[in-house]
Structure 1
Amino acid sequence: MGRENQTWVSEFMLLGLSSCWETQASLFILFLAMYLMTLLGNSLIILLTRLDSRLHTPMYFFLSVLSFVDICYTNSTVPQMLVHFLSAQKSIPFHSCVCQLYVSLALGSSEFFLLGAMAYDRYVAVCHPLHYTVIMHGGRCLGLAAGCLVAGFTNSLMQTTTIFQLPFCRHVISHFACEMLAVLRLTCVDIFFNKVMVAISGFLVIMLPCFLVVFSYGRIVAAILHIRSAQGRRKAFGTCASHLAVVSMCFGTAIFTYMRPTAGPSTEQEKMEKMVALFYAVVAPMLNPLIYSLRNKEVASALRRVLRKFNEKR
C-alpha cells in the first residue's frame, strides 16, 4: 500500500478498557477519583515548596518538578479517557493523536531522567553531606531539571516524527490512548527501523537512568551501613526506601514493556501494555506525592505552618 494512504486517516478509534457500559461507568468513577487525588496531591507539593522557605532545598525542588511533570502527564491522557468512558463514539482526530503521543511520551521520558537526577541528589546528600550545598547549588539543580525536560522532549520528537511519517492501513487503536507501540501496529509497512529506534530510545531513556539509580543507591546503602548510630541508619534508610520503591516500580514496568523481545502483537501483550500505561498515567502520579512527600515530617510541618499563616491572615 502506498504512503499516500496515510492522508485518508483523519481520525483513530480507541477501543478503551472495556465495551461493557456498566464497567465503563464504574471505571469512570474510580479513575475520576484517582485523577482528582493526583491533581490535589501534586498541586499541594508544588504549593508548599513555593510557600515554605524550609523546603527550598534541592530534594524538594526536584520533587516539585516531578509533581509538575506528573500533573501534565496525567492531563495528556486521563481527561480524554474519562470522556470516552461516557461516550459511545471513542474517536480521536489524527492531529490530536499526534499531539497526545508526543506530549505523553515526552513527559514520560522526562520523568525517567528526573528519577535519575533525584537519585544523584540523594547520593550526594548521603555520601557527601559536607559538600552537598556546594555540589547541588541552584544553578546545577536548574540545569539538571532543564536537561531532563529537553532530553525527554527531544526523544519524543524523534519517535513521533518517525512514527507518523509511516502509512497507516488501519485506524482502530487497541488502547485507551495514542500509545507508541499501539500506534505502530496500525502501519502497513515494515517497521524494523522503528523497532530499532524504540530499542535505542529504551536504552537511553530507561536503562541509562536505571543504571544511575542502581549505582547511586548502591553507594547510598554502603554509606548508610557505615553510620554508627542505629537511629541515623533508620532515618537514612527511611528517606531512601520510599524513593527506591517508586523508582523500582517505574523502571521495572517500563523495562518489561519496552525492552523485552516480542514475537508479535498478542491479546495478552496488549492487555499488559494497557495496564502499564494505566500505572504511569493514573497510579504513579497519584502515589508519588504520598510516597515521596506527604508522609514526610518536613512536608507535614510545612503544611501546618502554611495553614496557620492562612488562618492568621483571615
Structure 2
Amino acid sequence: MDPQLQALAAQQGNVILRPQLIEAGFTDDEIMRLRRSGVLTAIRRGAYVETPVWEALDDVGRHRSMTSAVVRQLKVPAVPSHVSAAVMLGLPTWGVDLSVVHVTRADLHAARLEAGVMHHAAALPGEDLCVVDGMTLTAPARTAVDIARDVPFEQGVVTADAALARFGNDHDRLLRTLDRMRTWRGARAAGRVVAFADGAAESVGESRARVQFERIGLPRPRLQVVIPGPDGQIFRPDFLFEEERTLGEFDGRSKYERSLGPDDDPASVVWREKQREDQLRQMGYELARLVWRDLGRDVSVRDRFQAAFGRARRRRAVRAA
C-alpha cells in the first residue's frame, strides 16, 4: 500500500477508510482487487487493515482497530465505552467478550445492537471522559464501573483493580462515579466490584487470586505489604494473611522472567527464591504459592493455604512453649 496511506493507517489504529482510499486516487475496483489479492482485509464495511498487520494482531489489537474504525465511521456523536474504552486505555479485559464494539451516546433513549456495535444510551458528563491518542472515550473510573455493571464479578474486578493501579489509585473517584449511576442497570453488581477493588493488585493473576480467596472463604489478605528483614532486606509479597502469619505469591510467568538478570540463568533465580523463602520462614512466616492453572482449582488452593496457616500456628505454638 502507498507509504502515505500506511502512515495514516498507523495513526488510526491500523485502519484506513474507503473515503480516504478514494481521495488518494483508488477506485472501488482497485480496492476490490487489493482485497482479493490479500493486500487488504475488510474488518467492517468501508474499513480496511493491511492483511499482514491484521493477521499479526491478537484479539485485543483487533478490537482496538475495530473500535477505531467504528468511531471514525459513525455519523452521530459517540464515544468508546465499556470494554472498548478499556482496550483503548490499555486496561485488561480478561474473560470479556471482544466481538462487539461498545459506544455510549447521550442522544439515545434505549440501547441497541447494530452492525456489530452496541450503542449504549447514557449521560456523558465531562468528568467521565478523557482523550487518548486524539480520541474521546470514557475515563478509567467510568469505564471500570460500566464494565462492572455488565460482566461477572471476577472479570469486573480484574478491570477495576487495573484502573486503580494505573490511573492514580483514586478509589473515591470510583465511588463518586458509581454514585452518579446508582439507579442504572447493574449498579448493585458494580457496587460489589467497587467495594472490593484494590489498586495494589499488580496483575490479572493477582486480581483473580483475590477473587478466588474470597470465593473459597479465606481471610482477605493485604497486598504488596513491605516487610523489613533482620539484616536490612526488604520483602514485598503479593499477599499477606496477617493474623495467619502466611504469605501468598502468585507466580505468573512474566514475574518469573522479570526476575532474570542479564547474566542469570533460571537455576540462579530458583536458588535466590529458595533463600528468600528460608529467610521468611526464619522470621516466622509460612508461604503458599499459586500459578495460573490454580485459579480454577478452588479445593486445592484452599487446602494449600489452610495447610500453610496450620504450619504457622504450630510454629508459633512451639516458639511460645
Higher relative contact order (CA 8 A, sep 6+): 1
Which TM-score band applies after superposition, normalised by the shorter structure? under 0.3
Higher relative strand content: 2
Relative to the length of structure 2, the TM-score reads 0.25
Higher relative helix content: 1
Task: Please say which structure displays the higher CA radius of gyration.
Answer: 2
Relative to the length of structure 1, the TM-score reads 0.25
